[in-house]
Amino acid sequence: MPLPVPVLPEGVDPAWLPPAAFRAVGGRRTLIRGSGPLVETVHGEVAQACQLFGGRVVRDAAPDGAYDLVLGPGAEDLGDEGFTLAREGGTTTVGACGGRGLLYGLFHVVRLGEDAFRGERARVVHRPALALRMLDHWDNVAVHPVMGQVERGYAGGSLFWEDGRARGGLERVRAYGRLLAACGINAVAVNNVNVHETEARLLTDRIGEVARLADAFRPYGIRTHLSVTFAAPMLLGGLLTADPLDGTVRDWWAGATRRVYEAIPDFGGYVVKADSEGRPGPFAYGRSHADGANMLAAALDPFGGTVHWRAFVYDHRQDWRDRTTDRARAAYDHFVPLDGEFAGNAVLQVKHGPMDFQAREPVSPLIGAMPRTRLAVELQVTQEYTGQQRHVCWLGPMWSEVLRFRYDDTRVGGLARGGLVAVSNAGDDPFWTGHPLAQANLYTFGRLAWRPDAGPREVLDEWIQLTFPDAPARLAGGLHAVLDGSWRTYEKYTAPLGVGFMVQPGHHYGPSVDGYEYSPWGTYHFADRDGVGVDRSAATGTGYAGQYGKPWSELYESPDTCPDELLLFFHHVPYGHVLRSGKTVIQHIYDTHFEGVAEVEEARATWASLAGLVDPARHARVAERYEEQLRCAREWRDQVNSYFFRKSGVPDARGRRVY
Amino acid sequence: MPLPVPVLPEGVDPAWLPPAAFRAVGGRRTLIRGSGPLVETVHGEVAQACQLFGGRVVRDAAPDGAYDLVLGPGAEDLGDEGFTLAREGGTTTVGACGGRGLLYGLFHVVRLGEDAFRGERARVVHRPALALRMLDHWDNVAVHPVMGQVERGYAGGSLFWEDGRARGGLERVRAYGRLLAACGINAVAVNNVNVHETEARLLTDRIGEVARLADAFRPYGIRTHLSVTFAAPMLLGGLLTADPLDGTVRDWWAGATRRVYEAIPDFGGYVVKADSEGRPGPFAYGRSHADGANMLAAALDPFGGTVHWRAFVYDHRQDWRDRTTDRARAAYDHFVPLDGEFAGNAVLQVKHGPMDFQAREPVSPLIGAMPRTRLAVELQVTQEYTGQQRHVCWLGPMWSEVLRFRYDDTRVGGLARGGLVAVSNAGDDPFWTGHPLAQANLYTFGRLAWRPDAGPREVLDEWIQLTFPDAPARLAGGLHAVLDGSWRTYEKYTAPLGVGFMVQPGHHYGPSVDGYEYSPWGTYHFADRDGVGVDRSAATGTGYAGQYGKPWSELYESPDTCPDELLLFFHHVPYGHVLRSGKTVIQHIYDTHFEGVAEVEEARATWASLAGLVDPARHARVAERYEEQLRCAREWRDQVNSYFFRKSGVPDARGRRVY
C-alpha cells in the first residue's frame, strides 16, 4: 500500500517541496519495483505527483520501454543509502538496494526535474560521504523559564512538544521528516542537550512519546535519537551514584536502554552533554570522558545504537583576570589524550570551531588530532550568533570552508566515521525557520552532509530551483544576490577580524562590545587604547596556535602570515598594524562596518525589487525582517566604530560619521 | 478588649521589636485611658509586655500617683498622630487626641526604655513633620516571568501574595504593620506600580483581597493604597478609551472608586505609573499628566483619598547617538509647566534624584520647582542599585543629605504636603529584608519620614538599641563601625564621581562598565581614551545644571566649583583633571576602588569579631553575605580599574595591581 504523503496544516509553507517541484516526475509513466516500508513511501510520493500532473505509476511490472522512470532494486551493493542513476533508450533508471537509497534516488530525480528525462545519462553511483547526517533539536518539553521552549530557537515553538507533551497530531512531524529526507538527513535528536528534569523522563516512563515521534519519522528513513542526562541513574533510578564504572550504574543503563529498544527497535542512540556548562558528568567520580561515553556505548551496543558525546567541555567559570587560561584550547586539551580509548559505537561530537559557533573561527584543531576516534563535526544551523533568523546569513560558504579544511590525510576518515551533526533551526513557525530565507541553511546543511565537497553555490541553486520551481531567471538571480554574500556581509558589520562575541550577554542578539569582556565565559577581545586581539601564539601567547599541525601552526603563529580574517583571534596587535590587505586594523574596522551596512541596504532594495515574483506572505515576512536587520546592522556599525574610535582616538580616514 | 499582639510565625526574626525591647514598659504599672480601636492595640501591646516582665495594666481609672505610665487623651489638638510626653512626680504621661498618636507615643516610650522612667521630663510635643509616610511594595500577585514575585525585591517572596492570591493567614502582615508603626509609617501600597493583568483586577472583582490586607494593617494605624493601571477602564471596564476627559471614563473611575470605598472605608488611594517605561497614560489621548491625575483625584475626593502620580516619565527608547537628549532633564521638563494644575488631593511623587536611585545623584531639581503642587519624594529602601541586600549599604546618610538639601524656602512646605514615600525592601524572608542589617534601612526610612531633620546616626542608635536591647557597648560599636560608613564604601568601589550605572543590564547587580553605554536607557558615561563624564552644563552641555536655582546652578555649572562627588554627573573631564581633593580623576578612581575593597575587608573582619554577641543564625547570615559582598566589590574594583587603565593608559601612581 502506498503511504500517503503527509498533508501540511493550513498555512504552513511547503518549503523546498512545493507540489510544482514534482512536475517533471508527476507527468511521467513510472514503474516502482521492490518491497519494504520505504518503497511504499516512494510509491506514495510518485502517486501524489501523478495525481497532480497526470502521469501514471505502476508497481512491480517488468521494466520495459513503456516507462519513463524505473525505481527499483539495483545490481550492486551500495549499502542502504546509495543509489545509481542512468538513462538509456528513453528510460531513466534509479537502482538501490535499500529503501532509503530508493527514496534518496527519487528526490534526486525530483531535483533534476526535466533534466532527468532528457537525452542519455551514463550510470552514476551516488553514495553519501557521511553515514550519519543528523539534526539535534534543542527543544524542551516543558517551556524553560529563561530559554523558552526551543533553546536558541528563533522559529516559534517546538515541532515535537506542546503543552508539556508530544504533540497530538504528528502530521507536521511527518512533513518535517519528508523535508529532511529530501536533503539527505537521516537522524534527528528530539530534545535539548541541556536535559532538564521533565525531559530526563523521556528515557524511561515517557519513552512512549518518543516512540510516537520515531513512528512519524521512520517512513522517511530517519532514526530518532534522544538527549539524556548523565545523572539519569540517580535522577530516575534512585541510585546514589552515576559513576560510570559502578556495576549498578552500568546495569541501570543496560536495563533502561533495553526498554528503549523495546519501544523503538530502530532507535538511533543517545546524545550527551556532560561536564559542560554545569551539566553532570564523569568528572564528579574522577572518571574520564571515555569512561563515561563507553558506559553508554556498552549499553547501546547490543542494539546497534550509538552514543554521541559532545566535546564542548571548558571552564565556564573562568576568571577574566587570568590570561593563561584559554577556552579555545579546552576541547583539545581535554580530549586528545583520550584518543583511541573510545568504543567503536561512541562518537565524539566536536563543534566546528574552538569557541562557540561564531561567524568566524578557525577550524577546531581537535578535529584533526584524534585519528583513532570516531568524530562528528557539529555545526549550528540555528543562527544563535549569526543573526537569529532575523538577519539573512546563509552559512553554506562558511560550512564549506570548514568541511574542506585539510589538517592532514586522516581527517576525512575520522569525520566520515562519525558524521555531520547540526543544531536545527526549525520550529512551528509557518515558514519552519522564522526567516523564510533561513530555510536555505537547513537545506544546505543536509546536502553538505551528504557531499561535503559540494560547491555551496550549486547547493543553493538546487534550493532555489526546488523552492521556487517556476521562478524566472530574475528571481533566481535576486536570491543569489541577497544570499551568496550574506555571511560575509554579516561578518563585516559584527565583530572584526575573527575576534568574536561582542554580543549582548544571555540572548546573544545585537552588539555589546564589552558584553563578555569581564565575564567568566572565557570570551575576550582585550581591547585597550593601543590595540586589540588575543595572543594565542605559542611563543608569547596561550599556545593555542601550537595545537595545529603544520603548516597551520606556523601560519597562525605570526601576525605576518596569519590570514587577515583570523588575525585578532590569534594576535593582539596595535590599531595601526597593517593587514595583508594593506589597510590598518582600525581603518579595516571602520571600512567593513560601513560596507556591511551598505550591503544590507542593497540587499533590502534587491528584495524589494522582487515583489510580485514571490508570494506576498513570504515577500512581506522577508521585507519586514530586512527592516530589523538594517536597524541592527546600523547599531552594530555605530557601536563598534564608536567603541574603537573612543579607545584608539584614530579618526576614520574617509571622514564618515562615527558617533 | 485589648487586641492581642500578632504572633510571629516560627523562625521569623522579631526585627526591631524583640520582647526584650519592652522590658522597661513591661515592668511598670500602666494606666490606659480612652477608647477606640487603636487604644485596644495599645492595650494589647502593654498587656503582653506586662505578662513578660511582671508589670500591670489598668484601663480607664483616674490618673494618680499609683501609675508609672499613663497613656490617654491629651489636652490640646495635636491631630490624629501627634502626642505629648512628660514625666512628673514619678509618672510618665503620654497624651494624644488620636489613636495613632497614642500608639506612636507608646512606641516612643519603648524606644526610650528605662530613660522614660527616670527623673523629670518637661512636656514635649511630638508631631510628624510629614503627614504621609508611605511604603510602596513592588509586589506582583502572579509571579512575573522576568521580574519574579517582587520586582527589585531581594528578600524572598511577597508578604501579601502567595500562589496567585492574598495569603490565607495574615498574622505576618499584622506583624509587619506593627513593625512599620513602630518606626512611624502610616501607609502601604500593596502592589507593584507596574500593574500587570492579574494585578489590575485588584481594583474591581478582587478588591476583597485588598480589603483583607487593609483589615490586617488597620489596627496599627496603616492605610492601604493600591497601584492601578491607567488603562483600567479599557482593560476592566470594556470601554474603548481611557481618555481622562471622556465622560464615560470618568464615570467608570467614579463607580469603581465608590465600590473600593464600600469594601475599604479608610482606603488611602491610588498609585499610578503612567506614560513611563511602556505603561499606558494620558499622552495617548493628547492629555497632560495633570488631566490624568486630576481625573483620579476627582474620583477619590468624595472619600478623602489621594492619588499618587509618579513623575518618573522619560524617554526609555533614547538613541545613544543623540547627545542632545538628557534623561536627567526629563521629569523637570515634563512637570514644571504643570505646576498649579494638579488637584489638592493629587500628589506628584518624585524620585529623589533625576535618574534612578543611584548610589550618588544630585537632588532632583523638580522637588524645588513646583511650589503650587503637593510633592512627595520617593526613596528606594530596596537596594536595587546599592547592593541588593547582599551588600551592607546603610542609606541613612544619603537620605539625610537629600532631605536636608535646601533649594529655597518653599521646599519643605512642598514636601510636607505630599509626604515621603519609599519602595520597601521587605519580603517573606525570615529576616524580613534578606540581609539582617538591611532592616536598619527600613527603620531609618520610617523615622526620617517622621522627622526629616533627625541625625541619621541617632536613628541608627535607636535601631541598634531596639534590635539588640541587651547589647554590650562592643556590639553597638561594632554595628556602627560596619554600618555608619557603608554607603560611602559602596560608592567608592562602584561607579566613580557621580557618573552612575556601570551595572549589569537587566538585573542591575555587579559591574558592567559599558553595560548601559550603548543602550536606549539614557544612562551613559561617555568614557573615551581622553576622559569621562556627562556634560550637563548650561554653557556647553545639555543644560540640566540650569534647572536648579542659585547657588546650585552656578556651582554645578563649572568643573571648578562642582562638588567632587558629582563631577562626572555634570562634566566630561580629562583623566588628568585635578579634583578639589587635589587628586587627578584617574588616580581618584584607582584609589577609591582599592580603598572601597579594603573597607569591605575590614568590615567583614569587624563582623567576624562580633560572633558570640549576636545570635548564631543572624551572625551566619551576615557573615555569608559579607563573602559575597567582598567577591563582588573586588569584581567592581578590578573591572572599573582595568577599564579605565585600558582606556587612559595611565598607570596607578602607587603601582598596585590593575589587570
Do the Cβ atoms of A542 and A326 come closer than 8 Å? Answer: yes
The CATH architecture of the domain made up of B491-534+572-648 is Alpha-Beta Complex (3.90)
pLDDT over threshold 50, residue A199: yes
Instruction: Kindly list the residues from chain A whose CB atom is less than 8 angstroms away from the CB atom of residue B597.
Output: none
pLDDT over threshold 60, residue A411: no
pLDDT in tens, A544-573: 999 999 899 999 999 999 999 999 999 999
Given an 8 Å threshold on Cβ–Cβ distance, is B518 in contact with A646? Answer: no
Question: Which of B431, B425, B355, B367 is closest to B395 using CA atoms?
Answer: B425
Given an 8 Å threshold on Cβ–Cβ distance, is B649 in contact with A145? Answer: no
Q: Is A30 helix (H, G, I), strand (E, B) or coil?
A: strand
pLDDT (average), residues A312-337: 94
The position carrying cell 559584527 is: A494
Question: Which of A642, A637, A640 is closest to A658 using CA atoms?
Answer: A642
| ipTM (interface predicted TM) | 0.83
Do the Cβ atoms of A610 and A481 come closer than 8 Å? Answer: no
pLDDT over threshold 80, residue A595: yes
Closest CA–CA distance from residue B510 to any residue of chain A (Å): 11
What's the fold here for domain B133-467? TIM Barrel (3.20.20)
pLDDT over threshold 50, residue B414: no
Question: Which of B146, B140, B152 is closest to B196 using CA atoms?
Answer: B140
Query: Would you call A171 an interface residue with chain B, using a CB distance cutoff of 8 Å?
Result: no
Given an 8 Å threshold on Cβ–Cβ distance, is A647 in contact with B518? Answer: no
Distance between first and last Cα of chain A: 68
Given an 8 Å threshold on Cβ–Cβ distance, is B528 in contact with A646? Answer: yes
Query: Would you call B638 an interface residue with chain A, using a CB distance cutoff of 8 Å?
Result: yes
Do the Cβ atoms of B580 and B564 come closer than 8 Å? Answer: yes
Nearest chain B residue to A658 by CA: give it. Answer: B321
**Catalytic annotation present for A356:** yes
pLDDT over threshold 80, residue A509: yes
Res B408: pLDDT: 66
* CATH assignment, A133-456: 3.20.20.80
Question: Which of B492, B570, B577, B502 is closest to B536 using CA atoms?
Answer: B570
How would residue A415 be classed by pLDDT, with cut points 50, 70 and 90?
low
Contacts 24+ apart (CB under 8 A), A106-112: A106/A25, A106/A42, A106/A45, A106/A46, A106/A71, A107/A181, A107/A182, A108/A83, A109/A24, A109/A25, A109/A69, A109/A85, A110/A21, A110/A22, A110/A24, A110/A25, A110/A182, A110/A466, A111/A462, A111/A465, A111/A466, A112/A24
Residues forming a β-bridge with A96 = A73
- Angstrom distance (rounded) from CA B120 to CA B118: 7
Of B321, B513, B659, the CB nearest to A638: B321
How would residue B335 be classed by pLDDT, with cut points 50, 70 and 90?
very high
pLDDT (average), residues A50-66: 93
pLDDT (average), residues A47-64: 94
- Angstrom distance (rounded) from CA B68 to CA B59: 14
Least confident of A100-109, A405-414, A643-652: A405-414
CA distances from B132 to B87, B184, B349, B417 (A): 29, 10, 12, 8
CA distances from B459 to A598, B220, B352, B401, B453 (A): 62, 21, 20, 14, 11
Query: Would you call B404 an interface residue with chain A, using a CB distance cutoff of 8 Å?
Result: no
**Contacts (Cβ under 8 Å, ≥6 apart) of B646:** A527, A528, A529, A647
pLDDT (average), residues A288-315: 96
Residues forming a β-bridge with A503 = A511
Determine how many CB atoms are found less than 10 A away from the CB of residue B458: 11
Instruction: Kindly list the residues from chain B whose CB atom is less than 8 angstroms away from the CB atom of residue A515.
Output: 512, 514
Nearest chain B residue to A531 by CA: give it. Answer: B646
Do the Cβ atoms of A183 and A135 come closer than 8 Å? Answer: no
Do the Cβ atoms of B209 and B165 come closer than 8 Å? Answer: yes
Q: Phi/psi at B264 (nearest 5 deg)?
A: -135, 90
**Contacts (Cβ under 8 Å, ≥6 apart) of A148:** A140
pLDDT over threshold 60, residue A413: no
Given an 8 Å threshold on Cβ–Cβ distance, is A639 in contact with B518? Answer: yes
pLDDT (average), residues B60-70: 90
Would you kindly state where each structural domain of chain B is located, as residue ranges?
19-126, 133-467, 491-534+572-648
**CA B396 to centroid of chain Cα atoms:** 10
The position carrying cell 510518485 is: A46
CATH label, A19-126, candidates 3.40.50.12780, 3.30.379.10, 3.40.640.10, 3.90.190.10: 3.30.379.10
Helix (DSSP H) and strand (DSSP E) numbers for chain B = 20, 20
Determine how many CB atoms are found less than 10 A away from the CB of residue A302: 11
Optimal mutation site among B144, B318, B319, B529, interface A, most CBs of chain A within 10 A: B529
pLDDT (average), residues B451-456: 95
pLDDT (average), residues B410-423: 70
Do the Cβ atoms of A537 and A572 come closer than 8 Å? Answer: no
How would residue A416 be classed by pLDDT, with cut points 50, 70 and 90?
low
- Angstrom distance (rounded) from CA B514 to CA B495: 11
Q: Is A398 helix (H, G, I), strand (E, B) or coil?
A: helix
User: Above pLDDT 70, what percent of chain A?
Assistant: 99
Do the Cβ atoms of A52 and A28 come closer than 8 Å? Answer: no
Given an 8 Å threshold on Cβ–Cβ distance, is A529 in contact with B649? Answer: yes
Beta strands A420-423; B56-59: pairing state: unpaired
Amino acid type, A530: D
User: Above pLDDT 70, what percent of chain B?
Assistant: 99
pLDDT over threshold 80, residue B66: yes
pLDDT in tens, B231-243: 999 999 999 999 9
Optimal mutation site among B147, B318, B514, interface A, most CBs of chain A within 10 A: B514
Q: Is B135 helix (H, G, I), strand (E, B) or coil?
A: strand
Residues forming a β-bridge with A224 = A188
Res B81: pLDDT: 97
Do the Cβ atoms of A219 and A165 come closer than 8 Å? Answer: no
Res B65: pLDDT: 81
pLDDT (average), residues B73-95: 94
Res A546: pLDDT: 96
Query: Would you call A202 an interface residue with chain B, using a CB distance cutoff of 8 Å?
Result: no
Res A410: pLDDT: 46
pLDDT in tens, B258-306: 999 999 999 999 999 999 988 999 999 999 999 999 999 999 999 999 9
Residues forming a β-bridge with B307 = B270, B346
- Angstrom distance (rounded) from CA B110 to CA B64: 22
Would you list the DSSP string of A313-349?
---TT--TT--S--GGGHHHHHHGGGTT-S-TTEEEE
Given an 8 Å threshold on Cβ–Cβ distance, is B647 in contact with A529? Answer: yes
- A120, A163, A205, A277: the catalytic one is A277
Catalytic (active-site) positions of B: 277, 356, 384
Residue A407 per-residue DSSP state:
S
Res B412: pLDDT: 46
Helices (H), A350-496: 396-404, 410-418, 439-450, 456-467, 473-483, 486-493
Res A418: pLDDT: 81
**Contacts (Cβ under 8 Å, ≥6 apart) of B652:** B587, B590, B641, B645, B658
Optimal mutation site among A320, A518, A646, interface B, most CBs of chain B within 10 A: A518
Q: Is A567 helix (H, G, I), strand (E, B) or coil?
A: helix
Query: Would you call B648 an interface residue with chain A, using a CB distance cutoff of 8 Å?
Result: yes
Residue A146 per-residue DSSP state:
T
Calculate the average pLDDT of chain B.
Answer: 96
- Angstrom distance (rounded) from CA B658 to CA A508: 29
Res A146: pLDDT: 85
Optimal mutation site among A317, A514, A519, interface B, most CBs of chain B within 10 A: A514
Query: Would you call A647 an interface residue with chain B, using a CB distance cutoff of 8 Å?
Result: yes
Nearest chain A residue to B505 by CA: give it. Answer: A505
Residues forming a β-bridge with A349 = A310, A376
Of B145, B506, B514, the CB nearest to A514: B514
pLDDT over threshold 80, residue B415: no
Res B147: pLDDT: 87
A-contacting residues in B 126-155 (Cβ below 8 Å): 145
pLDDT (average), residues A414-443: 92
Given an 8 Å threshold on Cβ–Cβ distance, is A529 in contact with B646? Answer: yes
How would residue A412 be classed by pLDDT, with cut points 50, 70 and 90?
very low
